[in-house]
Amino acid sequence: METAELCAENYLKQHSLLPQRFSKEEQREGKTPDFRVFKQSDLVAYCEAKHVQRDEWLDEKLKKAEPLELVGGMRPDPIFNRLTAHIHTAAKQFAAVNPNREYPNILFFQNSDKACKMADLLAVLKGNFYAEGGIVEPIYKAFSEGRIKDEKLTIDVYLWLDDWKAAPQKTKSYYWEDSQHYKRVCELLQSDPKNHRHVP
């Protein structure tokens, strides 16, 4: 089991939920997320875990460089494309087993890249840059309104764990308030909506 899956499994168990892997046979037959999630013996949700790994582009260039050779250069920030790809893939996995969205879909990110933050996930989901002082600039609409425009809404809650931080700051969450499962997910994850901050 990969580290992101282990982190997701531990998190769900801490909330009295039982994650159960799909069988090898089911995985061979088609796409699946990582877990069915049970509360006692009842199926209550599906969960997929993704690992946001540190970008090693510059490290690879340094490994291949000659002594005293300068390496690097300009390129688009890969963080937003990676997060978008993870959401796109997860949405397909959820749709394969939960096409009518009868149960909540939970996407869990284990983040090992200190250059990537939950604010980047919000940028991809909402399309906005949130500056200090409350200024909101819609500069990431190419991601939020691109291929995940509808797919992102099929995921009811995004859980974000920075694996270098200590608990309880370690895990954060983002809920879609207009999700049909919003209330249920809050109950399952023991999260009081009164404490949720509303993102414009």
* Cα dihedral value 69, 61, 139, 200, nearest 10: -130
- Can you tell me the distance from the alpha carbon of 182 to that of 184, in angstroms, rounded to the nearest whole number? 6
Q: Give 124-150 pLDDT, tens digit per residue.
A: 999 999 888 888 899 999 999 999 999
Q: What is the band of 180 on the pLDDT scale with cuts at 50, 70, 90?
A: very high
Record the pTM.
0.88
The residue with greater pLDDT, 73 or 200, is: 200
Q: Give 55-108 pLDDT, tens digit per residue.
A: 654 455 445 556 755 645 555 558 999 999 999 999 999 999 999 999 999 999
What is residue 167's predicted lDDT score, i.e. its pLDDT? 64
Output DSSP code: residue 30. S
Residues 82 and 123 sit within 8 Å (Cβ to Cβ)? no
Q: To which residue do tokens 């061979």 refer?
A: 28
